[in-house]
Amino acid sequence: MTPSSLARGGLDLGGTKIQAVVTGRAAKVVGHARRDTPRRGGAEAVVRDLAITIREAAADAGLRLSELGGVGVGVPGEIDMGEGTVTQVANIEEWEKEYPLAAELSNALGGLPVSLGNDVTVAVEAERRYGAGRGLRSFLGVFWGTGVGGGLVVDGRLLRGRGSAGEIGHVCVKSGGRRCACGLRGCLEAYAGRAALEQRARREARRRKTVLFDLMRQRGRDRLTSGIWLRALDAGDAVARDLLDDAVAALGVGIGSAVTLLDVEAVIVGGGLGERLGPSWLKRIEKAARPHTFFHTRPVYRLAELGDMGGAIGASLLVPARRGA
């Protein structure tokens, strides 16, 4: 791809995997790579693997790293954009304190400029510009995966609040309810996030038959991935079905309340579970939200379009545009 000044690197750092892309004009993916997020070694190990993955993506695009205009990273946590530090991180093991990720990764990439953003925020921005949000003045993005992330577009722009707007995963769906990993009780994420679902599945498995963990072992995994949930449903597994039904009910309360409050044109559902479960479950979510949606407002429900590279594509948009880009 030439001119190389258009090429940008994007990294999506997830709790399970690292996804890297190199994007060209109009955020078109011209190279990609992925690997598992390291389980040990904390931030230093993550930096090493982020660097490896983006190098592989550049190679896949037929480019040298130095030909990229820079690299953006979507991080599951809190960012100090000015400092380029990660002040708080979720779902990455052995990474506990504030860390100068931009500087360290730039160092590992021979001085290439590195920009940081919140993983969900960049994914919403990617959907707004190049995905299911194109042409919409307002939408609520819901990323249903390990956790439940969210982002808000109003008046055609991403709403940032004071930095953390859109946290629909921590909207209360049951007052005094289940404890969430964030410390609050009754959060949507505590009912619908894949991590919370897996915890509940482990408890259920002690007293009910389920194929969930058999499928996990057969596929050589040690977590219940979105694909495993889908296979369990296809096999008629009642535990999987009941837990996902509960998750959908919780999504309905949280999304319905958010729509009531924001009167957005659309709800866009993505994330690992959102994508794998697809249109029929999107319909269920819409149906579950209706009894909690004020009568004035009837948004359309859409699946996210950019798939599991959406976060990395969005991260690449963090790289400042260059002349000719």
Task: DSSP for 55-87, please give it.
Answer: HHHHHHTT--GGGSS-EEEEESEEEETTTTEEE
The minimum distance between CB 38 and its own copies, in angstroms, equals 26
Using alpha carbons, list the distances in angstroms from residue 194 to 109, 144, 148. 33, 8, 8
Using alpha carbons, list the distances in angstroms from residue 9 to 67, 209, 242, 265. 10, 45, 40, 31
Quick one: 183 or 324, whose CB is closer to its own copies? 183
Decide: is 80 part of the binding site for its own copies (CB under 8 A).
no
Q: Looking only at residues 220 through 249 of this chain, which bind its own copies when binding is defined by CB under 8 A?
A: 249
Which of residues 103, 154, 181, 205 is near its own copies by CB under 8 A?
Answer: 154
Decide: is 135 part of the binding site for its own copies (CB under 8 A).
no
Size of the site for its own copies (CB under 8 A): 46
Quick one: 44 or 83, whose CB is closer to its own copies? 83
Burial class (CB in 10 A: 0-12, 13-18, 19+), 292: middle
Decide: is 122 part of the binding site for its own copies (CB under 8 A).
no
The minimum distance between CB 237 and its own copies, in angstroms, equals 25
Q: Looking only at residues 166 through 195 of this chain, which bind its own copies when binding is defined by CB under 8 A?
A: 166-168, 170-175, 182-186
Decide: is 253 part of the binding site for its own copies (CB under 8 A).
yes
- Closest by Cα among 319, 197, 309, 297 to 249: 197
Q: Looking only at residues 265 through 304 of this chain, which bind its own copies when binding is defined by CB under 8 A?
A: 265, 291-297
Which of residues 19, 138, 146, 226 is near its own copies by CB under 8 A?
Answer: 138
Determine contact, residues 299/259, Cβ cutoff 8 Å.
yes
Task: Estimate to the nearest angstrom the gap between the alpha carbon of 163 and the chain centroid.
Answer: 17
- Strand pairing of 114-118 and 8-13? unpaired
Residues that bind its own copies (CB under 8 A): 78, 138, 150, 152, 154-155, 157, 159-168, 170-175, 182-186, 249, 253, 256-258, 260-265, 291-297
